[in-house]
A and B are shown apart, each in its own frame.
Chain A
Amino acid sequence: MTKMTYREAVRSALREALRNDPRVFLMGEDVGRYGGCFKVSHGLLEEFGPERVRDTPLSESTFLGAGIGAALGGMRPIVEIMTVNFSLLAMDQIVNNAATLRHMSGGQLSVPLVVRMATGGGRQVAAQHSHSLEGWYAHIPGIKVVVPGTPADARGLLLAALQDPDPVFVFEPSALYGVDGEVDEAAGPGEIGRALVLRPGDAASLITYGGCVGKALQAADQLGVEGIAVEVLDLRSLRPLDTAAVLASVARTHRAVIVDEGWRTCSFAAEVSALIMEGAFYSLDAPVGRVCSAEVPMPYARHMEDAALPQVPAIVAAVRETLGSHG
């Protein structure tokens, strides 16, 4: 086991993949010479050369589409879209090609494409650079969506994505790139579609993913001091979702709060809430709560941005609400 940052864990996985499989290559804006906008691919151009680590022009739609074509042609491309904010330019290729080619061709084609995107807000980079759109992507049949919340999962899920014959979108919360964690570099790939109980509990289930995992754990700590044992479940995979794990947790605790950095309306949290209602209605002692971003494009000023995003006090309050106490 080694202690490393989230970005180092991603880099470790990229390096391993580039070394072991000649079909794998990385392409995206500034992944080569610049070393990656978030320094994830630092050193990889030098190690693997410009054929395997390709700097692209600012043409999201075409280089993501080229990733699809290359995958059809037998490669295992990793397309890096600098952030989810720019992926909107490539939405047509994602929804109308990556997600549909297998189906439209009657099963003749598979698209083994991996797309990595930084996601989330909290760095005062304002409305066009702070989106959390994992929920949109999780809506689409034909692709898979994972959001690793720890360095170990960042490595494990990327390796798993590379083994998947279908398009996998890996959302890397930019707020986590510098966060440390224990990583076993000898471990094999992780498992797409499996959630993880980070902390067991019996008072309520705090269900979350990605950049909110840390905040959920902090909230759990705070409540723990008062003797309220909150269970924290890291979804890790949004599509496919580990519904069984969610329902099992709620069956244990009878209360749930979902923390999701997307906007509240039509959030991924709404989907999880509906699943809980459908599958664990008779286990619930209180309505399912959601802590999401406020209905506002991300403001620039620090205090405003903080207020717009899910924060620990709001999570704690939401848990108390489901327990029937306020404070």
Chain B
Amino acid sequence: MPSAGSLPLPDRAHALELLHGMLRIRRFEEKSAELYTLGKIRGFLHLYIGEEAVAVGSMQALTADDNIVATYREHGQALARGIPAGGLMAEMYGKVNGCCRGRGGSMHFFDVARRFYGGHAIVGGGLPVAVGLALADRMQKRPRVTACFFGDGAVAEGEFHESLNLAALWRLPVLFLCENNLYAMGTALDRHQAQPDLRVKAAGYAVPAEAVDGMDVLAVESATCRAAHAVRRDEGPFLLELRTYRFRAHSMADPELYRAKEEVERWKSRDPIDLFMSSLRGWGLLTDADLAAMEAAVAREVDEAVAIAEAGPWEPLEDLTRDVYTVNEP
């Protein structure tokens, strides 16, 4: 719980907005899990449950002009960015009214109008792209930040090191956001990193870094705003380590043999939504009526998204080879 003594109370409207943001992600993900067991969503499904504070908190630091690159566990970021839930759900159904015409699925959400550049399924694969987006902004003198989300697993890939180095060397406006949920799929951080402290790694590339409690949405918001501000001031890249935890398995197909149930329960006691709700109640900013209205609104939004997905048509087979090239070969 943030120390209410040192920080001013959040604005009530803003606080409710943050809570709503986390709640809609949570309910959307729960519904997605259910739909997966029913066979409506296929392939891989990586749930964001437990990490909502990271997406919602960090999104507060970004403007509509900023770029976002994320991983295959990107539903939270996509929803927080404002991509319509119906388009996301339809995409997971594989329907043509999905945000990517059903071509990508759960792991590949893109929305160019909202500057959301995926949705990357290769661990570490998005970092170079983020560096390039930042390079383009710098060369065209646009004061934008490129927020690049990645997990602790990506820290082991060469691209992480190359990207931090290149971003620092060329002073590029990349905000590296490491969602450290302690596990790279089934391997705990201390089993794959000789140096598990990410701040030390960043320092090796002359990139300033900070660690943040990723279960505290206000802390995330505050840290990300500070970091983004520095990046926007042309101080070069910044690395934020957001310490969080995923309450569900790596993906729907994971029996979680690699972590103890007690550990999961321990982290669940720090559920970001529960934590924030209890803080808000304590500060008198949240009533039962507020919550009920919020849950109802979220339930409506999720139901609507499912309806949009259910009603969406399938892309016609004749269109199979479109969108391979910008101008299709005859």
Which A residues contact B (CB, under 8 angstroms)?
25, 51, 54, 56-57, 59, 61-75, 77, 92-93, 96-97, 101-110, 141-142, 144, 165-166, 193, 240
A residues in contact with B135, CB < 8 Å? 66, 69-70, 73, 75
What is the 8 Å Cβ interface bit string for chain B, positions 77-94, against chain A (1 contact, 0 not)? Answer: 000000000000000000
Which B residues contact A (CB, under 8 angstroms)?
67, 98-104, 108, 110-112, 117-122, 125, 127-137, 139-140, 146, 158-159, 162-163, 165-166, 169-170, 321-327, 329
Closest to A66 in B: B132
A74 touches B110 (CB 8 A): no
> Chain A CB within 10 Å — which of B122, B129, B166 has the most?
B129
A residues in contact with B323, CB < 8 Å? 102-103, 106-107
- Residues A104 and B118 in contact in the complex (CB < 8 Å), given A56-B166, A57-B166, A61-B162: yes
B329 touches A72 (CB 8 A): no
Which of A62, A102, A142, A144 is close to B163, meaning CB atoms less than 8 Å apart? A62
B residues in contact with A64, CB < 8 Å? 128
A70 touches B136 (CB 8 A): yes
Determine the distance from Cα of A139 to Cα of B107 in the docked complex, in whole angstroms.
24
Give B111 Cβ to nearest chain A Cβ, in Å.
Answer: 7
Give B326 Cβ to nearest chain A Cβ, in Å.
Answer: 4
With A68-B132, A73-B132, A75-B139 known, 10 other A-B pairs at CB within 8 A are A57-B166, A63-B166, A65-B129, A66-B128, A69-B128, A69-B131, A69-B136, A105-B108, A107-B101, A166-B326
A103 touches B103 (CB 8 A): yes
Determine the distance from Cα of A64 to Cα of B159 in the docked complex, in whole angstroms.
11
A residues in contact with B98, CB < 8 Å? 106
> Chain A CB within 10 Å — which of B118, B132, B158, B166 has the most?
B132
Determine the distance from Cα of A69 to Cα of B138 in the docked complex, in whole angstroms.
12
Determine the distance from Cα of A54 to Cα of B327 in the docked complex, in whole angstroms.
30
A residues in contact with B324, CB < 8 Å? 102-103, 141-142
B residues in contact with A59, CB < 8 Å? 158, 162, 165-166
Determine the distance from Cα of A247 to Cα of B181 in the docked complex, in whole angstroms.
58
Give B242 Cβ to nearest chain A Cβ, in Å.
Answer: 22
B326 touches A72 (CB 8 A): no
Closest to B146 in A: A69
B133 touches A70 (CB 8 A): yes
B101 touches A106 (CB 8 A): yes
Please list 16 pairs of residues, one from A and one from B, whose beta carbons are closer than 8 Å in the complex, sorted by A's number.
A54-B170, A59-B166, A62-B127, A64-B128, A66-B129, A69-B130, A69-B132, A70-B132, A72-B133, A101-B110, A102-B326, A105-B103, A105-B112, A106-B104, A106-B110, A107-B322
Closest to B101 in A: A106
B104 touches A61 (CB 8 A): no
Determine the distance from Cα of A59 to Cα of B159 in the docked complex, in whole angstroms.
8
The main secondary structure of chain B at its interface with chain A is mixed
B132 touches A72 (CB 8 A): yes
Determine the distance from Cα of A282 to Cα of B326 in the docked complex, in whole angstroms.
35
Determine the distance from Cα of A75 to Cα of B122 in the docked complex, in whole angstroms.
24
Determine the distance from Cα of A67 to Cα of B130 in the docked complex, in whole angstroms.
10
Which of B127, B140, B325 is close to A75, meaning CB atoms less than 8 Å apart? B140
A residues in contact with B325, CB < 8 Å? 102, 142, 144, 166
- Residues A57 and B128 in contact in the complex (CB < 8 Å), given A72-B133, A105-B112: no
Determine the distance from Cα of A96 to Cα of B111 in the docked complex, in whole angstroms.
18
B residues in contact with A51, CB < 8 Å? 139
- Residues A106 and B100 in contact in the complex (CB < 8 Å), given A51-B139, A70-B139: yes
Closest to A95 in B: B122
A residues in contact with B129, CB < 8 Å? 65-66, 68-69, 72, 93, 97
B101 touches A165 (CB 8 A): no
Give A141 Cβ to nearest chain B Cβ, in Å.
Answer: 5
B159 touches A61 (CB 8 A): yes
A96 touches B122 (CB 8 A): yes
A92 touches B122 (CB 8 A): yes
B residues in contact with A107, CB < 8 Å? 101, 322-323
A25 touches B132 (CB 8 A): no
Determine the distance from Cα of A51 to Cα of B166 in the docked complex, in whole angstroms.
14
Closest to A77 in B: B132
Determine the distance from Cα of A107 to Cα of B112 in the docked complex, in whole angstroms.
10
Which of A74, A93, A105, A141 is close to B100, meaning CB atoms less than 8 Å apart? A105
Determine the distance from Cα of A144 to Cα of B325 in the docked complex, in whole angstroms.
9
Determine the distance from Cα of A165 to Cα of B322 in the docked complex, in whole angstroms.
15
A residues in contact with B112, CB < 8 Å? 105, 108-109
Determine the distance from Cα of A108 to Cα of B323 in the docked complex, in whole angstroms.
9
B128 touches A109 (CB 8 A): no
Determine the distance from Cα of A74 to Cα of B129 in the docked complex, in whole angstroms.
13
Which of A67, A104, A165, A166 is close to B108, meaning CB atoms less than 8 Å apart? A104
A residues in contact with B119, CB < 8 Å? 104
Determine the distance from Cα of A141 to Cα of B324 in the docked complex, in whole angstroms.
7
